[in-house]
Every structure is written in structure tokens, then in C-alpha cells.
Amino acid sequence: MILGRMDQSASILSAPGHALYISFYPSLQSQPTPLPTSSKTPTAFVIANSLTVSNKAETGKSRYNLRVVETLVGAKVLSRILGVPTQLNERATYREVLQRWWNQEGKEDGENSLKAEITTLLQGGYLEQLKGKDNDGVLLEEMVTMSGMSNDDFTRVFLSWVEVEATHFQLYKRAQHVFTEALRVLQFRDLCFENSEGLPEKLGQLMNESQESCSTFFECSCPELNRLTSLANSLGAY
């Protein structure tokens, strides 16, 4: 079972009254982000439990672990689309590919340029090339071809270290979520620091877009959570 680092970092580094902006590239960095407070329009963030269990030990190979492989393979394929060199045995992340592409374009990569980098990538239509020939996703043989690797090398680099189970792989959907979600995080952070008029509504819109993307593109939501979100919105939540 593959584990992430977000929850562990947030539990240690979080501060009262703040959201936490976390970056793992090129190393772990965090920035407390003040949540909106106003005596005129008091705002509360509701944390609710859908009571739905996600047993990753049982479903990992068809869900969590599978998404990890899909994003890593997607990054490999995207590097070829962008003309960014990667090593044969390298499992580069989307963030690493983005940085190399931006530098290759003669521009300096960093926190200050990250929104521009992601926006340029999304508007360039590059992710569309991850869709493959089938609307249901990419077959294994097609995915190997898209990677530019031999079958043996592909299996060794991407499939030998983790067990996955799928007939179609969702490279485009995962990439679409990863990059749009990263952009939403940056927009959310900047809005909190600006603390402008209508802030709760603006933050709520980003959070609703995030939930929709989690459900549709990353497929890490569930019917109960979707219903809970819908109910909250229908009762006046942003």
C-alpha cells in the first residue's frame, strides 16, 4: 500500500485559524494561510463525516495505487509531448516535468510563476493528448506505446513495484485534476491573503469545483460525499 505525505505534514505543521499551504517540491515547505474572519460576515468552515469507509488495503490496487501509477505514467507521456527529457528508469512527477518544461522555454520556475506555468499548460491543449483512442481510457498496450518505452522497461519502471488492477487507465482525467486542483490551491491561497469583498463566495466556488473534479476526474469521492456536499449547498453553504 502506497502512502501519501499530506495528512502527516498537516497534522504536524498546522496552526489555529489558518489553512496550510504545503509544497513538496523541491523539498517540504509550508505556509500558514489566514482563513477569512469578519465581524460583519462571520464565516465557518464545516467539517463533516460521510461515515463511508474507504478500505485502501482492499481497494488500493484498483483505486489509490492505480491513481499513483496513472499520474506517474501520465507525467512520462506528458514529458514526451512537451519534449522534456527524462531518464529511462525515472518516475518523474508532474511537478518535475512542469519545472523542466518551463526552464526549457527559457523561463525561471518557482512559486511566483507557478500559476502562470499551470495556466499556460492547460490553455495549450497538451493534456488532451493523454486521452488516447478510447473514450473509456487508455489500454495497457497503448499506454506503453505512448510512453516510448519497451514493454519490459515499462513494466519494470511503472508496474513491478506496486500491484494495480485495470483494463483502462485514466491518464487524461488524472492529469486534468492534478493541474486544475494545483491551480485552485494557489487561487485559494491568494484570495485568503487578499481578503477582498465576497471572499466566502469565491472560496466556496473553488471548493465546489474541487469536489466536482475529485468526483469526475480523480474519482476519489463517493456517492455519500457527493450527496453531503449537494445538501450543504442547497441549505446555503458556499
Q: Write the Ramachandran bin of 106: left for phi over 0, alpha for psi from -120 to 50, otherwise beta.
A: left
- C-alpha cell at position 156: 519494470
10 Å CB burial of residue 51 (0-12, 13-18, 19+) is: exposed
Active site residue 153: no
CB–CB of 43/35 below 8 Å?
Answer: yes
Residue 137 sits at φ, ψ, to 5 deg, of: 130, -165
Helix (H) or strand (E) segment spanning residue 224? helix 223-234
| Annotated active-site residue in 7, 109, 134, 136 | 7
Provide the annotated active-site residues: 7
